[in-house]
Amino acid sequence: MSILVNKDTRVVFQGITGKLGRYYSQQMIDYGTKVVAGVTPGKAGEIVNGVPVYNTIKEACKASAADCAVLFVPAPFTKDAFMECIDAGIPLVLCLTEGVPVQDMMIVKRRLMGEKTVLLGPNSPGIVTPGEFISGLMPKEAFISGKIGIVSRSGTLTYQTADILKQSGFGTSTCLGIGGDPIIGVGFVEVLSLFEKDPDTELVVLIGEIGGQGEETAASFIKEHMKTPVVSFVAGRSAPEGRTMGHAGAIISGGKGTYQSKEKAFTEAGVPVARIITDLPNLIRKKLNS
Q: Which of 96, 247, 250, 272 is catalytic?
A: 247
pLDDT of residue 236: 85
CATH of 10-120, one of 1.10.730.10, 3.40.50.720, 3.90.220.20, 3.30.420.40: 3.40.50.720
Q: Do 139-289 and 10-120 fall under one CATH topology?
A: yes
The helix, strand and coil proportions of the chain, stated in percent and rounded to the nearest 5, come to 35, 20, 40
**Res 290: pLDDT:** 84
Dihedral in degrees, nearest 10, Cα atoms 54, 57, 60, 62: -140
3-class DSSP state of 234:
strand
Write out pLDDT tens, residues 112-143: 999 999 999 999 999 999 999 999 999 999 99
Whole-number pLDDT of residue 256: 62
Torsion-angle region of 207 (φ positive above 0: left; ψ -120 to 50: alpha; else: beta)? beta
Return d(Cα 14, Cα 250) in angstroms, integer: 28
Nearest Cα to Cα of residue 7 among 158, 172, 128, 141 = 128
**Interval 152-175: pLDDT, tens:** 999 999 999 999 999 999 999 999
139-289 belongs to CATH 3.40.50.970: no
pLDDT digit string (tens) for 209-253?
998 899 999 999 999 999 999 999 999 887 666 555 555 555 555
Query: Rounded to two decimals, what is the model's pTM?
Result: 0.94
Percent of the chain with pLDDT over 70: 93
Domain boundaries, the chain: 10-120, 139-289
Q: Report the chain's mean pLDDT, rounded to a whole number.
A: 94
247: annotated active-site residue = yes
Count of other CB atoms within 10 angstroms of residue 50: 9
187 dihedral zone (left: phi>0; alpha: psi -120 to 50; beta): beta
Check residue 257 and give its pLDDT: 82
- Please report, as a single letter, which amino acid is at residue 164: I
With contact defined as beta carbons under 8 Å apart, do 73 and 81 qualify?
yes
Percent of the chain exceeding pLDDT 90 equals 89
